[in-house]
Chain A
């Protein structure tokens, strides 16, 4: 049997004394796409943030094993170099930092980490122009400051574009569908699907089933009040569409 990419065991965390995650268990193998669905405030984005290494959370129990290592002990940049990628729900605008410069710096950090030579500006530009096409992004985006003045749709596409450049082993998409119209949703999904390989994995966090029509998950987990209350195949998302979160959470809580 294949080694899992990531194993989350009984993960609990609080923010300023308030318990948000109450024992999450999740194992993801290479080649798999998992979806986490849940109502607002269920802890979806907190889970994403903790996996990526955002500060401000207090881990109160459990562990996360990634590639045989204790993920929570690593700095965010080490996690990223090891192949963890978070597509932000709200990508940050960084005026004054040129997109190409930023991406090359990021890409070269990974190359350094793997003991490879850094790419110079010319080689990187050739490489990156290929990736831009994948997301149907205008090339002039590369000349603009990171996310600065981008539309909501452009920012989300830019996240997936960065994912295409950095080629992560484990990508977390945090509500990447929010704020996207149907055309942008298709472009983003198509990008994500193209990047799927047998040796990487994706964790798709979403509130709505809609995204999962385009990024078809192997497993769906329903998160409520800091716990996974139900897991199943892709049909679970459709079921959820029928019953709503209330109905399903209620049924899951009742004894079988």
Chain B
């Protein structure tokens, strides 16, 4: 295999049937270094993942779920897993430049998918709350993990999840016992220092919020690297009955990198789960969100914002699975697309028989700042119950002329009016972030990015 080169037009015809040969040796699978003490049940899950990946191969454009997103460049990479534990020379100072750095609360830092304890800090937590590395808990208290790990992020149809399951080395484990509330957000930071193209990390996180508990978790993915590396993360999130969980993923990796991230959420009765996916970086990013709404009377919000420029592609793929009655789900995704970039939204809502009184809403709005930007949006409703409310809507367009005139008639210059409206478009999503400190910082970050984008003020109305 050869390192990929973005400038070459490689034929992708053969890709559908092609199974890339992972370069890791079989014996390393779950048995090396910090993973040496893994329980046997995990090894069997890993083997299943390995087998599934071999069977599925990487998806092609012929795969309906990947119609708009070509992963050929990933397939052409030579996967080089980072096996060295530790911080890889990353200093606290280097981390200071990244978002949510000053956030009060615990933070776990992972460098190239490996836990970096010297950069991490765990605040004082309520009784029984655990915030630690997954490899550590697997070595010390595997019973805490066993009911959940690999039970929610399924490998049967998702080759990337299968790959992650086979090869993950570490990630975060958060456990909030019943009735406990963690007031401050827990920040999971994933930093890449990849020195070579093809460096691959498969972070694996497990967040368990038991019944009546409350927690906020931030995952941020950032780069201290200019290499073409690959992040393939999987997070399993379990919200017990009546739990309140806020989860935010910020993907801000370098403009050459590939990012595939899966969030598999399992929501219990009357739980309230809100997850935000903010995609700013990477050359190609795909975020899969599977929300299993497995209890009555719950509420689940999937909220997302993608900002793309140059030749970036940001893809969000969602399956909201209403399995029980009286469930409410809302999906809100806004995209701001510049240059030749592309945004993809695929939202599937499944209402199973018996999930009566389901209220499912989905909106995807795209703001195109350039004539060359593209947005693909695909809603998909599958309803097997007869007393439900499901709506979806998608818009695609430029800034509203009437709004621009309104602002100008109030003394605001054209350029500033455009900026305000683009900011407002992003603000619709940002405003749904409940944790104030996170929301304010995210707002500043997105504002800065938008300010850097000259096309906001270009003649786009």
Interface residues of A (CB under 8 A from B): 52-55, 75-77, 79-81, 85-86, 88, 91-92, 94-97, 102, 105-107, 109-110, 113, 145, 162, 166
From the candidates B403, B427, B431, name the one contacting A92 in the complex (CB within 8 A): B403
* A-side contacts of B408, CB under 8 Å: 53, 75-77, 80
* A-side contacts of B405, CB under 8 Å: 53-55, 76
From the candidates B406, B409, B411, B431, name the one contacting A96 in the complex (CB within 8 A): B431
- A96-B410 in contact (CB<8A): no
Closest 5 CB pairs of A and B: A96-B424, A96-B427, A109-B411, A76-B408, A92-B406
A204 to chain B, nearest CB (A): 17
- A96-B426 in contact (CB<8A): yes
* A-side contacts of B426, CB under 8 Å: 96
- A88-B412 in contact (CB<8A): no
Report B415-456 CB contacts with A as 1/0, cut-off 8 Å: 011001101111110010000000000000000000000000
- A166-B406 in contact (CB<8A): no
- B420-A91 in contact (CB<8A): no
From the candidates A54, A92, A97, A110, name the one contacting B411 in the complex (CB within 8 A): A110
- A102-B410 in contact (CB<8A): yes
From the candidates A77, A102, A113, name the one contacting B414 in the complex (CB within 8 A): A77
From the candidates B403, B409, B421, name the one contacting A80 in the complex (CB within 8 A): B409
With an 8 A cutoff between CB atoms, is B401 at the interface? Answer: yes
A50 to chain B, nearest CB (A): 12
Q: How far is the CA of A33 from the CA of B426 in the complex (A)?
A: 42
CB<8 Å pairs between A and B, sample of 15: A75-B414, A77-B408, A86-B409, A92-B400, A94-B403, A94-B406, A94-B421, A95-B424, A96-B423, A96-B424, A96-B427, A97-B424, A105-B420, A145-B424, A166-B411
Report B65-96 CB contacts with A as 1/0, cut-off 8 Å: 00000000000000000000000000000000
B408 to chain A, nearest CB (A): 4
From the candidates A54, A96, A109, A162, name the one contacting B413 in the complex (CB within 8 A): A109
- A106-B411 in contact (CB<8A): yes
| Inter-chain pairs besides A94-B424, A102-B412, A107-B411, 7 sampled, C-beta below 8 Å | A53-B405, A53-B409, A55-B405, A76-B405, A77-B408, A77-B412, A85-B409
With an 8 A cutoff between CB atoms, is B402 at the interface? Answer: yes
Once A and B bind, how many residue pairs between them come within 8 Å at the CB atom? 76
* A-side contacts of B423, CB under 8 Å: 96-97
Q: How far is the CA of A107 from the CA of B411 in the complex (A)?
A: 8
* B-side contacts of A110, CB under 8 Å: 411
B215 to chain A, nearest CB (A): 28
Known: A55-B401, A77-B414. A95 touches B428 (CB 8 A): yes
Q: How far is the CA of A102 from the CA of B431 in the complex (A)?
A: 16
From the candidates A53, A86, A106, name the one contacting B412 in the complex (CB within 8 A): A106
Q: How far is the CA of A250 from the CA of B421 in the complex (A)?
A: 47
Q: How far is the CA of A112 from the CA of B339 in the complex (A)?
A: 34
- B421-A97 in contact (CB<8A): yes
Interface centre among B400, B410, B428 (most CB of A within 10 A): B410
Q: How far is the CA of A54 from the CA of B414 in the complex (A)?
A: 13
* B-side contacts of A85, CB under 8 Å: 409
Q: How far is the CA of A162 from the CA of B409 in the complex (A)?
A: 11
- A80-B424 in contact (CB<8A): no
B430 closest partner in A (C-beta): A96
Q: How far is the CA of A166 from the CA of B431 in the complex (A)?
A: 28
- B411-A77 in contact (CB<8A): yes
Q: How far is the CA of A124 from the CA of B7 in the complex (A)?
A: 53
From the candidates B402, B411, B425, name the one contacting A81 in the complex (CB within 8 A): B411
A82 closest partner in B (C-beta): B411
Q: How far is the CA of A94 from the CA of B403 in the complex (A)?
A: 7
A91 closest partner in B (C-beta): B406
A164 to chain B, nearest CB (A): 13
* B-side contacts of A54, CB under 8 Å: 405, 409
A174 to chain B, nearest CB (A): 11
* A-side contacts of B427, CB under 8 Å: 95-97
Q: How far is the CA of A96 from the CA of B336 in the complex (A)?
A: 15
* B-side contacts of A113, CB under 8 Å: 411
B1 to chain A, nearest CB (A): 46
- B414-A97 in contact (CB<8A): no
